[in-house]
Amino acid sequence: MICVLLLTLFAVVSADRLPRSCGTCDPSKCAPLPAEGCSSGTLLDACGCCELCASGAGEPCGGRGASAKRCASGLECVKSDRDKKSKSGVCVCKSNYPVCGTDGVNYNNGCELKAASVKAVKDKKPEIKIRNKGKCAQAPVIVTAPGEVWNMTGSQVFLSCEATGIPTPVLTWRKVSNSKDKTLPLPGDKDNLAVQTRGGPEKHEVTGWVLGRMMNCKRTWPPTEMLKHYACSAITAHALRLNHKQQLTHGHFIL
């Protein structure tokens, strides 16, 4: 007896959730879907009877009865602040963070990725899934390389380098010997050298400097004998790129 009462109560509650305009479900009377398919997928109407095209991001939603437009999965129907009494709204993505797809493409949110996945499957291509939150990994690139600098005895000299990558790369400096087959990490044990690094100025970007003061300078000529080579290195967990530039000084920079 108790089971019958509970079953009856559940049936009444479920029926109350359906719009009053819903009648007996007859799938044969449902309107056909577009021949070109639905860009945001399909779902059942408010009456739970007919299959309809789901509304995508930025498309209208809401309404009354079985004709009410419903948002695709991952979207929600948001009404305008100016007209709260309106039954209609616009579909907005629930997530607002960028994601990286298994196709190696960056998407502003999961909804854009899902729409692209629906299109890919329609074109008989692999389904696109979320590889990770945030942007896709990107090999480091040195966007501002160190240049050539002239220096005088007793004064300071500095070289700067900017690199970008995802995840944010790590910058290091090395001195390249004249033989080109040996490098020395900076600053090493030299008390006249300093290396500094900070994040920015843009997101996923890092800036570094190598600062030095000329010591025990002996002027020589020609200037080609005074060339000192330095390498700015940017590395992430995915790739490594080197960018070599020269520092031109008025004498020997004793390192």
- 233/175 same-domain check: yes
- The reply to whether 35 falls in a domain is no
- 105/177 same-domain check: no
Give me the chain's average pLDDT, please. 75
Of 68, 29, 74, the residue nearest 56 (C-alpha): 74
Q: What is the pLDDT of residue 200?
A: 87
- 126/159 same-domain check: no
Q: What is the pLDDT of residue 142?
A: 86
Q: Give residue-wise pLDDT tens across range 207-226.
A: 998 887 765 555 444 444 44
How far is 100 from 97, CA to CA, in rounded Å?
10
Strands 156-166 and 170-176: unpaired
**Distance from chain centroid for Cα 196:** 27
- 129/145 same-domain check: no
How far is 31 from 29, CA to CA, in rounded Å?
6
Is 77 in contact with 61 (CB distance < 8 Å)? yes
- The reply to whether 61 falls in a domain is no
How far is 206 from 41, CA to CA, in rounded Å?
42
How far is 255 from 251, CA to CA, in rounded Å?
12
Q: What is the pLDDT of residue 246?
A: 38
- 219/166 same-domain check: yes
- The reply to whether 48 falls in a domain is no
- Count how many domains the chain has: 2
Percent of the chain with pLDDT over 70: 71
Cα separations (Å) of 230 from 50, 137, 214? Answer: 69, 27, 16
- The reply to whether 119 falls in a domain is yes
- 155/240 same-domain check: yes
- 243/185 same-domain check: yes
Q: What is the pLDDT of residue 8?
A: 39
- The reply to whether 50 falls in a domain is no
Q: Which of 89, 114, 133 is the last residue of a domain?
A: 133
- 121/160 same-domain check: no
- The reply to whether 23 falls in a domain is no
How far is 31 from 50, CA to CA, in rounded Å?
8
The CATH number covering residue 149 comes to: 2.60.40.10
- 198/119 same-domain check: no
Q: What is the pLDDT of residue 56?
A: 86
The string over 49-64, giving b where at least 16 C-beta atoms fall within 10 Å of a residue's C-beta and e elsewhere, is bbebbbbbbebebbbe
Of 223, 211, 213, 215, the residue nearest 250 (C-alpha): 223
- 107/181 same-domain check: no
Q: Which of 91, 109, 133 is the last residue of a domain?
A: 133
- The reply to whether 183 falls in a domain is yes
- The reply to whether 88 falls in a domain is no
Q: Give residue-wise pLDDT tens across range 81-119.
A: 776 667 788 999 988 899 999 999 999 998 889 888 888
Domain range for 120 is 99-133
- 127/150 same-domain check: no
Q: Give residue-wise pLDDT tens across range 38-72.
A: 878 888 887 888 898 888 888 898 877 667 888 88
pLDDT of residue 250 exceeding 90:
no
How far is 131 from 101, CA to CA, in rounded Å?
5
Lowest average pLDDT, out of 11-20, 86-95, 190-199, goes to: 11-20
Binned at pLDDT 50, 70 and 90, residue 154 comes out as low
pLDDT of residue 249 exceeding 90:
no
Q: Which residue has the higher pLDDT, 206 or 151?
A: 206
